[in-house]
């Protein structure tokens, strides 16, 4: 690995390009080669036994570890300033492996505020089958009275999907630590460029790497970062038992995406701020959910824990589903699609797509109305995007 000196003295753009990177030992290739193999030779009988017992380092089988995947994990650990990282086949694979690796029957998990629909489904519907009790806390204030002796984990997402709710990470970390619970944060929307939760005292950080980390809409993956005491059991479950390993081909794409992460996130964040300000003044729009607006209830906290306010927003259109359909179907530059964090701007209707499996009651409690549209701002020219939104809102 390159000797970069003290990581704390290097900027994020430098770390995104060089962190964890090493020239290939055989060819000298700067970009990490794709190691397309399922198995690795370990030489002889005794060496094989030592590797499988953990006495000797080395690769054995790509479900356990692969050099291309390792390179991606090392880059992510550097960017989040963590001891270790483990990559998984998707964001949901990373979330599921974390929950099942660190929770057991009889434990409670408190989930705070709004969560991605897939995460909500695992916590509310799947964990109870295994004797793990989900407890909901609407906000940090409610969390204070939600702890019990059985609380093992606190799970939050900030900014939250899709209404951009902001959670005070330092307070989450403090309360969890006092209660003896593990704090877990989904940092997908913020990315390590905007927020580093571990610096706020959080134990574990998750990402759907499919989103901003890839940045090009061409790779699916997930990653978990933190201290080895948490990452090692997650690796064992995710890779060796659940089998949710990341493909080396996907790992290469994700590592490539990381090199431009700061540039892309900064561009989309700067555009999103201007677009949110424009949309907040439009008569067809009831509410704009964007933490960079002073009217957002989480503005003050977001300003403290985020470098910029991100590239995602949601707009609540007057007129419900008919208004949302009209708006989305008239967009030309912005593509109707789920996912986010791409170079392309994307928009979707959460109530009928990403959160359609969540009950209507819970959706409404979370602020996901029939008129809500989530928008992921890409790297196109800001003025062109505003013009697209302007024409799409005509007649709403």
Query: Which of 116, 193, 212, 290 is flagged as catalytic?
Result: 116
| Helix count and strand count (H, E) for the chain | 15, 12
Packing angle, helices 261-280 and 382-393, rounded to 10? 40
In what side-by-side order are the strands of the sheet with 346-348?
Answer: 285-289, 312-317, 372-376, 346-348, 335-336
Under 8 Å between Cβ of 188 and 169: no
The CA distances from residue 395 to 32, 285, 319, in Å, are: 51, 12, 11
Query: Which of 211, 264, 363, 374 is flagged as catalytic?
Result: 211
Question: What is d(CA 183, CA 153) in angstroms, rounded to the nearest whole number?
Answer: 6
**Known active-site residue 139:** no
Query: Which of 63, 174, 259, 274 is flagged as catalytic?
Result: 63
Query: Which of 107, 168, 186, 370 is flagged as catalytic?
Result: 186
The CA distances from residue 380 to 10, 111, 308, 342, in Å, are: 29, 35, 18, 11
Q: Give the helix/strand (H/E) hosting 206.
A: strand 204-208
CB-count burial class (<10 Å; 0-12, 13-18, 19+) for 380:
middle
Question: What is d(CA 205, CA 169) in angstroms, rounded to the nearest whole number?
Answer: 11
**Known active-site residue 186:** yes
Point out which residues pair with 208 in neighbouring strands. 222
Q: Catalytic residue numbers?
A: 63, 116, 186, 211
């Amino acid at each position: 690995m390159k000797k970069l000196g003290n990581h704390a003295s290097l900027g994020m753009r430098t770390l995104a390009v060089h962190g964890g990177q090493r020239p290939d030992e055989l060819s000298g290739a700067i970009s990490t080669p794709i190691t397309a193999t399922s198995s690795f030779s370990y030489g002889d009988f005794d060496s094989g036994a030592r590797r499988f017992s953990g006495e000797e380092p080395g690769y054995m089988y790509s479900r356990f570890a692969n050099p291309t995947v390792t390179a991606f994990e090392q880059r992510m650990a550097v960017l989040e300033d963590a001891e270790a990282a483990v990559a998984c086949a998707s964001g949901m694979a990373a979330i599921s492996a974390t929950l099942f690796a660190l929770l057991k029957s009889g434990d409670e998990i408190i989930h705070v505020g709004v969560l991605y629909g897939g995460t909500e489904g695992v916590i509310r519907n799947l964990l109870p089958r295994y004797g793990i009790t989900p407890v909901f806390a609407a906000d940090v204030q409610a969390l204070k009275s939600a702890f019990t002796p059985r609380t093992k984990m606190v799970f939050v997402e900030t900014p939250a999907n899709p209404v951009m709710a902001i959670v005070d990470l330092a307070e989450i970390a403090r309360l969890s630590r006092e209660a003896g619970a593990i704090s877990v944060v989904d940092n997908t929307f913020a990315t390590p460029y905007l927020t580093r939760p571990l610096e706020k005292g959080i134990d574990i950080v998750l990402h759907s790497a499919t989103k901003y980390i890839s940045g090009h809409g061409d790779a699916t993956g997930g990653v978990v970062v933190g201290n080895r005491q948490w990452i090692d059991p997650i690796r064992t479950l995710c890779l060796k038992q659940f089998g949710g390993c990341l493909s080396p081909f996907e790992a290469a794409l994700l590592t490539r995406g990381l090199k431009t992460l700061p540039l892309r996130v900064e561009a989309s964040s700067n555009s999103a701020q201007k677009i949110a300000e424009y949309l907040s003044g439009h008569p067809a729009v009831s509410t704009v959910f964007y933490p960079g607006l002073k009217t957002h209830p989480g503005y003050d906290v977001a300003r403290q824990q985020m470098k910029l306010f991100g590239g995602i927003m949601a707009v609540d259109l007057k007129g419900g589903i008919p208004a949302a359909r009209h708006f989305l179907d008239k967009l030309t530059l912005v593509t109707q699609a789920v996912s986010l964090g791409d170079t392309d701007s994307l928009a979707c209707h959460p109530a009928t797509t990403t959160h359609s499996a969540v009950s209507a009651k819970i959706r409404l409690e979370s602020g996901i109305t029939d008129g809500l549209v989530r928008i992921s701002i890409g790297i196109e020219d800001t003025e062109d995007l505003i013009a697209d939104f302007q024409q799409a809102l005509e007649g709403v």
